[in-house]
Structure 1
């Protein structure tokens, strides 16, 4: 299974029944330990390279396991990783994105202290920067549930529950991935607080989510975020009227992910 799924912005319409993450029963013997690395503020490209290396190593194990099936060899457990970090100012464009959605030329990028990279997830353009919690799960979904929609709904649900911890009602908008405030149909000011975009190879994931915590939202003004022109972006700090410790947000998010994935978090 190889797919450049899913856009950081758009997805097939999700039925109302999918609003809550469905129950699932992990396969017997599956490795549900997730090794978490808190990287702090790190440049984008080295982190992308680290993801690629972890994904390749996991896919190699799966390939060896498949080759060993004929001889009856016991399979080797595949690992699961989660990288948590912030990035310096950077714009990334997915494979289906439009370059014109970046509104800065090279000189203006440099003036804003930002860089730009074309990357191998689906979707359009997005922004990462200081004060934003970025998570890169490199999970073997065969250890959990090999279903990309389940995986994305789980990431969304973890963020929705995290925001509820801060008294914010968040949810999904049909046809748009990620997590939104004022998400109900007909709400006057829908605004995105968390973007998502993933790639999956042989059920091993990479890329992930970007949650605006204390983010300078002005940087979103230099792009057409995800190609969406009629909706705003927001942050936890803007909604609460105060900055929030990033470590506190990480801890709460990990707790919700562990519960939803029935996973053991290891640091």
Structure 2
């Protein structure tokens, strides 16, 4: 089992360009797994973790409801935002500057073959990271992602998640609001969940701006520990 994970910092990059890149890595891994099985060989598959910030974009998962996008195409253009229907699970979400998006493209045969556990580990990576900032975050029953003040009228989501997997190879991932412009969430019903607020780390800490690089390093540390990965 190859537990090495190659981390790539893509900086600020267009959503479609990054999605195409994910698909390329995803297909390479799937093709190798199929070839290994067909030819009875055992060539190790690679694992990746992509970190990226996107320009303003809304994405709708394959089971999502398009009516959860509350603005027209013209209004999207006016807000310099784009919109894509994509092949992950989940409903609609927003990505934009000030948000750390993580895309693990892992062959779970290298770690564990359990999608439920995989999602819980991604959530735990974020929960442990936020704890370092003094925030108690948690899961909300039946609602993927990471939340604050679950079970109260003040419940708010700080990290959205949506993944795709085939033959135990993953893509898509999580989006953690660090210095996000929360006004962009007003244009959607986030994740299709009505009457629940969205928040960002800088808002919770009462800071104008949180160091994104520092947050990313903490995420990477906890990801490495939970998955018992070797970061390269």
Q: TM-score, normalised by structure 2?
A: 0.98
Aligned to 1:192: 157
Secondary structure of 1:137 counterpart: strand
1:111 aligns to what?
78
Unaligned stretches of 5+ residues in structure 1? 1-29
**Partner of residue 118 from structure 2, selected from 122, 140, 151:** 151
Match of 1:10 in 2: none
For residue 214 of structure 2, the aligned residue among 236, 245, 248 is 248
Shift of 1:68: 2.2
Q: Over residues 13-35 of structure 1, what are the superposed CA-to-partner deviations in whole Å (9 max), with x where a residue is unaligned?
A: xxxxxxxxxxxxxxxxx100000
Q: Find the aligned partners of 2:71 and 2:225 in 1 and give their Cα distance.
A: 41
Tell me how far apart the structure 2 counterparts of residues 194 and 213 of structure 1 sit (CA, whole Å): 9
Cα deviation per residue 1:80-136 (whole Å; 9 max; x = unaligned)? 001100000000011111111111111100110100011011221100000000001
The answer to whether 1:32 aligns with 2:3 is yes
Larger Rg: 1
Give 4+ residue runs of structure 1 displaced > 6 Å after superposition. none
1:129-168 map, 5 Å? 129-168=96-135
Equivalence for 2:18 = 47
CA distance in 2: counterparts of 1:152 and 1:168, whole angstroms? 20
Deviations 1:31-56 (A, max 9, x none): 00000000111000010000000000
Query: Counterpart of 1:126 in 2: which secondary structure?
Result: strand
Task: Report deviation, 1:245.
Answer: 1.1
- Higher RCO (CA 8 Å, separation ≥ 6 residues): 1
Normalising by structure 1, report the TM-score.
0.85
For the residues of structure 1 that align with 2:99 and 2:183, how far apart are their CA atoms?
13
RMSD: 0.7
